[in-house]
Amino acid sequence: MADTTLPPPPINDKPGSFTWLEWYRQLRNYVSTTGSVPWYVINFAGSNITDIAVRKHNDLQTIQGGTAGEHYHLSATQYAGMSNELDVELQTSGTVLPIVPTLFSPASAIVVNTSGITYNIGTGEFTFVNGGVYTMSLTLNASASSGNRKVYFYAELDTGSGFNILRYSARSKEVVPSVEDQVLFTATLKMHVEAKTRHYIWASNNTVTLNSTDVPGTTAGTVTLPAMRTQWTGSL
């Protein structure tokens, strides 16, 4: 491989000597270019990419994710909002459902896990810190004392101007007497930043009770069906 460095000038030789002429030749080759400067001529010490006038992100190489025109930067807030989840449980027994539409906000509910979504136990309100598409799963471990009963559900949404009923959020599930059953309601919807929702739950008649019970065949207190579990998951 050819030596691309320039030797020091031969200061101990007489001007015009062969040594000086050879050094001048090397100097000419070192600085002479054809429309460009060789990389080995440039000293990169102290350099910065900001020294380049135009430095488009999409012109970089080995950019992960997407194709041309689909590479984006996220703010810290946006990055944090990529994964949102909430798990609220009612782990006690004996909650009797009302027989008229009633805001569901059991005082004994606990927040098991939360990220990007908050739950107010006093008001029963779920608040979504980040906008995005979210999926809800609401499970009730319910039993009816006598006669077939229906459990009803609907939601209200507040996007900044107060709560309004989501007309087609209504759900219903029949519970047969003396048989404990898992009542499952699910929904997927788009939420705005700081949007809020709350749920109304009731039964068609007396008495439907929510209980936390251990799964048969397991050691008591190790595998339990909670009386209520509400899970929200979503992303940007």
Q: Would you call the peptide bond into 207 cis, given omega within 30 degrees of 0 as the criterion?
A: yes
Q: Could you tell me if 31 and 88 lie in one domain?
A: no
Q: Could you tell me if 116 and 24 lie in one domain?
A: no
Its pTM surpasses 0.85: no
CATH number at residue 216: 2.60.120.40
Structure tokens, 183:
């009542």
Q: Could you tell me if 61 and 93 lie in one domain?
A: no
Q: Could you tell me if 106 and 199 lie in one domain?
A: yes
Listed as own residue / partner, the contacts of 222-227 with beta carbons closer than 8 Å and 24 or more positions apart are 224/91, 225/141, 225/182, 226/89, 226/90, 226/91, 226/139, 226/141, 227/90, 227/91, 227/92, 227/93, 227/95, 227/140, 227/141
For residues 4 and 40, give the distance between their C-alpha atoms in angstroms, rounded to a whole number: 7
Q: Which residues span the domain enclosing 94?
A: 84-235
Residue with the two structure tokens 């039964």: 203
Q: Could you tell me if 200 and 158 lie in one domain?
A: yes
Q: Could you tell me if 60 and 105 lie in one domain?
A: no
- Into how many domains does the chain fold? 2
Looking at every residue in the chain, the average pLDDT score rounds to: 89
Listed as own residue / partner, the contacts of 60-67 with beta carbons closer than 8 Å and 24 or more positions apart are none
Residue 34: predicted pLDDT: 53
Q: What is the mean pLDDT of residues 158-185?
A: 95
For residues 144 and 210, give the distance between their C-alpha atoms in angstroms, rounded to a whole number: 9
Q: Could you tell me if 89 and 60 lie in one domain?
A: no
Q: Could you tell me if 219 and 123 lie in one domain?
A: yes
Residue 6: predicted pLDDT: 79
Q: Is the pLDDT of residue 45 over 90?
A: no
Q: Could you tell me if 127 and 212 lie in one domain?
A: yes
The residues with which 142 forms a beta bridge, in sequence order, are 181, 210
Residue with the two structure tokens 């990389």: 39
Q: What is the mean pLDDT of residues 25-42?
A: 73
Residue 76 lies in a domain: no
Which of 17, 34, 65 is the last residue before a domain boundary?
65
